[in-house]
Amino acid sequence: MGDERQAAKLIIYRRGKKEIEKPLNVLLNESIQLSTLTNSLEGFDIPISREPVKVCYGNNLNQCIEVIALSTDINYLEGSISEQSNEPSLEQVKVEVGEFYAKKVKFYQEKRERKEKK
């Protein structure tokens, strides 16, 4: 059983390559709503539990996936609105894949934020 004081990390990111420049709407457990842009990354603490975290996405937030955090590992979700399909998607990826792309996305996000501050 998980200790209630412990939490896992949920990272939601969007890459920039072959992406449409419009926000991807995401809703976490019907309480936290965000819109991710291309080359953006958001991080959340989620409870370690056998109960899944419901993550809904899309224009009407009617497409959902569930993430179960059984340990303090980082869970990565990659969001996308591809140029080809114009359909929003959100999928859980392996830790190695998520770590790799999250680092790249964070670099571009910080670069964009520095530029906006000027």
Q: Where are the domains of the chain?
A: 7-117
pTM (2 d.p.):
0.89
Domain 7-117 in CATH 2.60.40? The answer is yes
Of 41, 64, 68, 43, the closest CA to residue 53 belongs to: 68
From first to last of the 118 residues of the chain, give the pLDDT tens digit: 444 467 899 999 999 988 998 999 999 998 889 999 999 999 999 988 889 999 999 989 999 999 998 888 899 999 999 888 889 999 999 999 999 999 999 999 999 999 888 7
Cβ proximity of 40 and 14 under 8 Å: yes
